[in-house]
């Protein structure tokens, strides 16, 4: 029986082109989605864009255009970039689509019907970049500036509908406390717990002064607060509230919401409270990853250290999309903050070329030169058994790493196997064995073990580096299509399989000028 796996990225604000942060989350989610497809799971991977709110209106005004023109223009860039970067999302939701608007209105109607929304008035601080209400205490602590962008907070005073967040907060807190792996990583989970312990107020969920949004169904002079609108995408994309709820019935609750750490509060508190009010099951897991900086500083265009779309396109064109994916996911344990440096980027390119590419090349050259096809395994020594046992361990270790969102491990485990295979080739010295006819059977065994190791490495890299791993497997004469990772690992490389010399798989970094 296959499992089903539903995962999402945040839906991004199309007020500017995607940059490395958006690419990071999306490539991480894509890797997990590909793993689950390769594990035979019925997988649904959703991304999209969050198109309402004051931030979008302000950007449109700055550019002298209507918000709809802005969003259509930038959303097209997001969609094009995900296509270029071979992101395998199954759907792309836009919050300006009728399917979403209808769903949000249904959701708000239900919240109204359960008595969880009431009319009041809001006076307080607002972070327009984050689209977030800020309490008086927090505003004071932050010197009335945004904790994220540093821009001044804005004072709001207006009539507004409120959601009874305070009614659900104790249940949300209890749920988070009782479910260790609902919110990850643990350090961020603890931050959410302590903030919840301080108590939360009801949430203002409508804006009367804003036109750009989804009208409140009971009072169209107000539009729905952009975070209530945005969070709903995770179910409206599945047809929740429409005539066809088959996807919702199949895929909800979501297995994984992948997000950045700065939006954890919305996902771990507002969203579960909304779902509780709707009587729906909660997500299985919310994972908040860390933030990219560059050369130890916050990325910014003015500092010239911004890893934007142009740079991403340039690197993908020069080194391949997969090398970029490898760098991003290998850079730090998933969940930690990350720092982009040219030196680290080059180091990871060298690692791919010197460890994986080199292992594949050595093996292809030796087998083609000495045998022409994969020889059978003969009598074994401890060295051989060690490598074979590492090969056998790869499938279960990867399964464990993917199940726990340890994406750095997902990158390193296969590469470490290739490193072990390189060490094995150095230790067994097949080029010397080849000179001695007495050692023919030993040479067969050594070549066999080395070949199985690089084959398993490439299979293990399929979710993370789909094109390079497949290209490598094709050099070995294998077509991985239609098989699960475990089937491919269990089958191994067939004895007698013809093997020819190969081409280098990876491009090395350019020497500094
Ligand atoms: O917050 N490092 O959209 P957004 C790592 N629309 N990841 C980063 C990053 C960085 N420096 N910068 C951005 C929104 N990200 C809302 C979400 S969801 C219902 C609504 C990634 O365009 C990271 O995933 O500001 C972060 O959470 C997301 O982009 C924020 O994208």
Residue 383 lies in a domain: yes
Cβ count near 303 (within 10 Å): 11
251 Cβ inside 6 Å of ligand 1: no
pLDDT value of position 512: 61
Q: Which residues contact 45 (CB under 8 A, 6 or more apart)?
A: 6, 7, 8, 29, 30, 33, 88, 89, 90, 91
pLDDT value of position 243: 95
11 Cβ inside 6 Å of ligand 1: yes
Nearest ligand 1 atom to the CA of 230 is: 19
Mean pLDDT score of the chain: 95
Residue 130 lies in a domain: no
230 Cβ inside 6 Å of ligand 1: yes
Residue 196 lies in a domain: no
30 Cβ inside 6 Å of ligand 1: no
pLDDT value of position 295: 86
Residue 212 lies in a domain: no
What is the residue whose two structure tokens read 């909660």? 282
Pairing assessment for the beta strands 286-289 and 183-184 based on DSSP bridges: parallel
| 344 exposure class (CB count in 10 Å sphere: 0-12, 13-18, 19+) | middle
pLDDT value of position 298: 81
User: 56 C-alpha to center of ligand 1: Å?
Assistant: 15
Q: How many angstroms from the chain centroid is the CA of residue 168?
A: 29
User: 93 C-alpha to center of ligand 1: Å?
Assistant: 16
Cβ count near 479 (within 10 Å): 9
- Rounded to whole angstroms, the Cα distance separating 295 from 340 reads 6
Segments of the chain scoring below 50 in pLDDT: none
292 Cβ inside 6 Å of ligand 1: yes
Q: Which of 30, 260, 269, 307 to mutate to test the pocket of ligand 1 (most atoms within 8 A of CB)?
A: 260
pLDDT value of position 421: 98
Q: Are 52 and 497 in contact (CB under 8 A)?
A: no
pLDDT value of position 362: 96
Count how many residues are written for the chain. Answer: 513
pLDDT value of position 302: 73
Residue 481 lies in a domain: yes
Q: Which of 9, 12, 26, 29 to mutate to test the pocket of ligand 1 (most atoms within 8 A of CB)?
A: 12
Structure tokens at 306: 């911004």
User: 421 C-alpha to center of ligand 1: Å?
Assistant: 39
Nearest ligand 1 atom to the CA of 338 is: 2
Nearest ligand 1 atom to the CA of 293 is: 11
DSSP bridge pairs for 122 = 158
DSSP 62-88: HHTS-HHHHHHHHHHHHHHHHHHTT--
- SS3 category, 132: strand
Residue 127 lies in a domain: no
- pLDDT tens figures, 289-327: 999 999 888 887 777 788 999 999 999 999 999 999 999
29 Cβ inside 6 Å of ligand 1: no
Nearest ligand 1 atom to the CA of 49 is: 6
Residue nearest to atom 23 of ligand 1 (CA): 260
Q: Which of 7, 8, 9, 10 to mutate to test the pocket of ligand 1 (most atoms within 8 A of CB)?
A: 10
Q: Which of 188, 224, 236, 263 to mutate to test the pocket of ligand 1 (most atoms within 8 A of CB)?
A: 263
User: Please, what is the end-to-end C-alpha distance for the chain in angstroms?
Assistant: 56
Q: How many angstroms from the chain centroid is the CA of residue 422?
A: 31
Starting at the edge strand found earlier in the chain, the sheet holding 154-163 runs 132-134, 117-127, 154-163, 203-204
259 Cβ inside 6 Å of ligand 1: yes
- pLDDT tens figures, 385-423: 999 999 999 999 999 999 999 999 999 999 999 999 999
Residue 277 lies in a domain: no
Nearest ligand 1 atom to the CA of 14 is: 22
pLDDT value of position 305: 84
What's the number of CA atoms in the CB half-sphere (13 Å) around residue 221? 7
Q: How far is CA 436 from CA 363, 370, 371, 383, 444, in A?
A: 19, 12, 14, 20, 12
pLDDT value of position 513: 54
Residue 405 is part of a domain; what is its CATH number?
Answer: 1.10.730.10
User: 19 C-alpha to center of ligand 1: Å?
Assistant: 10
User: 24 C-alpha to center of ligand 1: Å?
Assistant: 10
Domains contained in the chain, number:
1
Range of the domain at 453: 345-491
Residue 454 lies in a domain: yes
Query: Nearest CA to 410 among 357, 461, 344?
Result: 461
258 Cβ inside 6 Å of ligand 1: no
């Amino acid at each position: 029986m296959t499992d089903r796996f539903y995962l999402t990225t945040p839906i991004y604000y199309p007020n500017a082109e995607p940059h490395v942060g958006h690419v990071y989350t999306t490539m991480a989610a894509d890797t997990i989605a590909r793993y689950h497809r390769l594990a035979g799971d019925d997988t649904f991977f959703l991304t999209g864009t969050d198109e309402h709110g004051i931030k979008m209106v302000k950007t449109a005004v700055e550019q002298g255009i209507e918000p709809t023109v802005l969003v259509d223009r930038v959303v097209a860039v997001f969609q094009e970039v995900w296509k270029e970067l071979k992101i395998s999302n199954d759907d792309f939701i836009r919050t300006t689509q009728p399917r979403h608007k209808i769903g949000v209105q249904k959701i708000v109607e239900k919240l109204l019907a359960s008595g969880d929304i009431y009319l009041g008035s809001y006076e307080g601080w607002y972070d327009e970049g984050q689209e977030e209400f800020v309490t008086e205490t927090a505003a004071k602590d932050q010197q009335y500036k945004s904790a994220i962008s540093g821009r001044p907070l804005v004072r709001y005073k207006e009539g507004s509908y409120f959601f009874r967040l305070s009614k659900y907060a104790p249940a949300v807190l209890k749920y988070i406390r009782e479910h260790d792996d609902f919110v990850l990583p643990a350090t961020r989970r603890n931050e959410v717990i302590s903030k919840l312990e301080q108590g939360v107020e009801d949430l203002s969920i409508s804006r009367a002064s804003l036109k750009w949004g989804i009208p409140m169904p009971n009072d169209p002079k107000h539009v729905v607060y952009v975070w209530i609108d945005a969070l709903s995408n995770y179910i409206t994309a599945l047809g929740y509230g429409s005539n066809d709820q088959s996807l919702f019935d199949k895929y909800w609750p979501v297995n994984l919401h992948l997000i950045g750490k700065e939006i954890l509060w919305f996902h771990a508190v507002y969203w579960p409270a909304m779902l509780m009010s709707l009587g729906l099951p909660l997500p299985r897991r919310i994972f908040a990853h860390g933030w990219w900086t560059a050369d130890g500083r916050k990325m910014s265009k003015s500092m010239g250290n911004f890893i934007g779309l142009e740079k991403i396109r340039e690197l993908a064109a020069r080194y391949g999309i997969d090398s970029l994916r490898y760098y991003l996911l290998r850079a730090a344990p998933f969940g930690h903050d990350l720092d982009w440096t040219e030196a680290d980027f080059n180091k990871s390119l060298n690692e791919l070329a010197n460890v994986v590419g080199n292992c594949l090349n050595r093996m292809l050259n030796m087998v083609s030169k000495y045998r022409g096809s994969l020889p059978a395994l003969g009598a074994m020594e401890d060295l051989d058994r060690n490598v074979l046992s590492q090969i056998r361990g790869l499938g279960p270790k990867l399964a464990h790493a993917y199940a726990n969102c340890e994406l750095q491990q997902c990158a390193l485990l296969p590469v470490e196997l290739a490193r072990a295979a390189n060490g094995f080739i150095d230790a067994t010295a097949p080029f010397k064995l080849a000179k001695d006819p007495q050692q023919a059977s030993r040479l067969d065994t050594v070549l066999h073990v080395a070949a199985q190791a690089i084959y398993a490495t490439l299979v293990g890299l399929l979710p993370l580096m789909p094109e390079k791993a497949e290209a490598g497997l094709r050099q070995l004469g294998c077509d991985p299509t239609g098989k699960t990772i475990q089937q491919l690992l269990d089958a191994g490389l067939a004895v007698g399989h013809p093997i020819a010399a190969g081409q280098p798989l990876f491009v090395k970094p350019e020497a500094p000028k």
